[in-house]
Structure 1
Amino acid sequence: MGYVSPGREYTRDSRYLTTRITADGREGLPVEAGRYRLVVSRACPWASRAVIVRRLLGLEEALPMAVAGPTHDDRSWTFDLDPGGRDPVLGIERLQEAYLARDPGYDRGVTVPAVVDVPTGRVVTNDFARITLDMSTEWTAYHRAGAPDLYPRALRPEIDAVNEVVYEEVNNGVYRAGFAGSQEAYASAYERLFARLDLLGERLAASRYLVGDTITEADVRLFTTLVRFDAVYHGHFKCNRRKLSESPVLWAYARDLFQTPGFGDTVDFEHIKRHYFLVHDDINPTGIVPAGPDLSNWLVPHRRETLGGRPFGDGTPPAPVRPEEAVPPDHNPLPSRPHTLR
């Protein structure tokens, strides 16, 4: 399964299924508790955004979640974590089946996150950027009491602008470096990535969060790349000017979010490593999964509270993770270690 095109820079296929689920059904299908199933992999940074936002907003009951295994082949993500290798609700072995149920001639990427309409078994959308925004703006009837406003109306232009730059130069930037097909393409991606990380570090030196004084969608989107940086991108994708843990401001910022309920408690480092080092066999042909890095430093105090800010604004932290959705203790330092959340 190849990801690198020799002699060329990496270009992401962004042809997504953009049907929306809205409160009034005006752009596709209506919001309806229990009707849809959010399919994710904890390995995938794009899917991890949806896992975090769903948890912060308290949508567990309204939008049930299926977790695919950390690896896939050129056909699809699979439900190999479930008994019998089938999702217990959708009854399918591969996410590809839900895509083909919508379009038998579907020839694009079978990606996560994906929202599946349970009654028909068809994928509704895999537009990862829109899915989380709609969770914030269209699923409000099912938000928990105390849910934070992750996409406040007054800050949306600034959030959108930050998100666009972070996507182009950081979220997707690590992939442009890792999947570069030439030295020139790699060098360009590498320089753009670290130039932007430097600027983000400067921005966050004086501000606890990216936009405003509370956690927003912008922080969620940056976090899912930062949390994978030392474990995967530094070595596997050759983003090795320095580790995240060698960048004082960004490292403290990432730890602050990791130690905030709804962020770190969704992260499965074992799934992350297995996905990248096993699936990208043209980059890592031996299939060896690294034993490290040591994860205990994610719990070192971050001291970011001295910058002020209120993580959840006027809201409250989410309740503890449901047992059936908890990350195994040996895949994450949080469940088995005491820590202070601020």
Structure 2
Amino acid sequence: MSTSFLQSPPFLTTKKFTTSKTVDPKHLRRSLRPINSLNSPKTPNPTTSNNVQNLLTTLTKLLWSKTLPPQLLISTVRSVWTTTWLIMMSQLAPSDPTGSYSRPTSQFRANVNQLSRHNLTTLHLYVGLPCPWAHRTLIVRALKGLEQVIPVSVASPGVDGLWVFDGVMGTDDNANGCRTLKEVYKLRKDGYDGRSTAPMLWDVEKKEVVCNESYDIIQLLNSGFNKLADNPGLDLEPPSLKGRIEEWNRVIYPYVNNGVYRCGFAQTQEAYDAAVSDLFGTLDTLDDHLESSRYLCGDLLTIADVCLFTTLIRFDLVYNVMFKCTKKKIVEYTNLHAYMRDIYQIPKVAETCNLKAMMDGYYNYLFPLNPGNIRPIMPSGCEHEALFRPHNRESLSSADENLHATIC
């Protein structure tokens, strides 16, 4: 879907960063159930289903009769589908001349310093639960204790590729009462007819898009609302770690966050081979690094960890199968999987992870990659109970008390 997953944030040294603090995992674990904003699916109309089945049966008999040999049918369908797929992919996932996915840039960027001078009480956040870029904003909003400060409207992926407010996988539009996120964008004074992506920060008073770049938004949530936040002491981007955070983001964004999309949206074998090599080479490097470092930058959770986590939590659920990232699963990486569980178990994080919505958002709506809309069963290692298994990563950290004080 053209607007569901195409939002992005802006070589790696192996030097280890440590501090002199400690972490107690007992303080990080909390038996939270994931949020579930999904309504029960509608029961199919049996009459409609029978009519469709009868039509398919009649059509099948016609196509496979002697007037159209099976060989011609197969070649015709294959040719038509390939052409149609290329047309859809050119809109969903534009590529460069080599067939490599070329992610469009965000149209509404914002300077964090300018955002922090904005009237923060008029902001409204639009997100979609399947989207990893939007998920970042939900995590930082929760960790900073901004749930009562920044209202959220949750859009569902629609069958036409737009974000819609239909209550199936989210909420109504609580700020503008619109039917789609595209309609919200069009409410701008100057109008707008471009890509209507989530997450998006909206100014309710000015009727204006403030920002639709996920990384800008999480930086603002981290530092711009401290006077209003329930947890102002938590800093996910401390000045002392800013350089290391930027180093990690220069690796994680192109090769992991966007890397899974480069695999799934590749339109040539060469483009796929290059993307999958970059992806798993980086995952190997991350797994090695995390063998001796609790988080990416040492003892403290940072924005870089949040950005990596939202891809990891979707990897075995979706990307491994649907995006052909099949070389290894995250559960096969000892350190990466434990690291993912460690973050999942931080209070409030699991509440932002709607695992079923993640799967539905890709398998049921990303039509060009899954025409049958069949959703595979959830891997056992991705279930909530499995993600709460002990991770034992506290032994790598000396910042227990400080981490507990700032996150809880």
Task: Identify the TM-score tier after normalising by the shorter chain.
Answer: 0.7 to 0.9
> Aligned partners of 1:157, 1:248: CA distance in 2, in Å?
27
* 8 A contact 2:123–2:203 mirrored in 1: yes
* Aligned-partner Cα distance in 1 for 2:389–2:404: 26
AA in 1 matched with 2:246: D
Q: Give 1:9's aligned amino acid.
A: S
Select which of 304, 315, 320 maps to 2:405.
315
Mind listing any 5+ residue stretches in structure 2 that lack a counterpart?
2-87
User: Matches of 2:160 and 2:111 in 1, distance apart?
Assistant: 27
Identity value in percent: 37
Partner of 1:243: 329
**How far apart are 1:213 and its partner, in Å?**
1.0
Given candidates 383, 386, 393, the residue that maps to 1:304 is: 393
Matches within 5 A, 1:25-40: 27=114, 30-40=117-127
Using the TM superposition, give the Cα deviation of residue 62 of structure 1 relative to its aligned residue in structure 2, in angstroms.
1.7
Q: Call closer, same or farther: CA 1:316–1:229 in 2, change over 3 Å.
A: same
Letter matched to residue 140 of structure 2: V
Within-5 A mapping of 1:99-114: 99-102=185-188, 106-114=192-200
Q: Conserved in 1, the CA contact under 8 Å of 2:233 and 2:406?
A: yes
- Contact kept, 8 Å, 2:152 with 2:174, in 1: the verdict is no
CA contact (8 A) 2:153 2:171 kept: no
TM-score (norm 2): 0.72
Q: Deviations over 1:198-250 (max 9, x none)?
A: 00111110000001311110110000000001000100001011111111110
User: Larger helix proportion, structure 1 or 2?
Assistant: 2
Residues 180 and 75 of structure 1, relative CA distance in 2, 3 Å threshold: closer
Q: CA deviation at 1:28?
A: 6.1
RCO higher in 1 or 2 (8 Å CA, sep ≥ 6)? 2
> Which residue of 31, 52, 62 maps to 2:149?
62
Q: Which moved more, 1:36-45 or 1:117-126?
A: 117-126
Contact 1:38 1:63 in 2 (8 A): yes
Distance 2:214 2:232 in 1: 25
Aligned with residue 292 of structure 1, among 355, 371, 378: 378
Match of 1:321 in 2: none
Residues 17 and 126 in structure 1, CA contact (< 8 A), matched pair in contact too: yes
Q: What is the deviation of 1:263?
A: 1.9
* 1:251 counterpart letter in structure 2: H
Bigger shift: 184-193 or 132-141?
132-141
- Give a deviation string over 1:69-100, Cα, whole Å, max 9, x none: 2x235563111128997423321111112211
Work out the CA distance in 2 between the residues paired with 1:29 and 1:137.
8
Change beyond 3 A, Cα 1:252–1:314: closer
CA distance in 2, matches of 1:204, 1:195: 14
Check the 8 A contact 1:258/1:265 in 2, yes or no: no
Aligned mates of 2:373, 2:149 — CA distance in 1:
38
Q: Measure how far apart 1:315 and its partner are.
A: 2.9
> Aligned to 1:34, what secondary structure does the other structure show?
helix
Residue of structure 2 in register with 1:207 after alignment: 293
Please give the secondary structure, in 2, of the residue aligned with 1:254.
Answer: helix
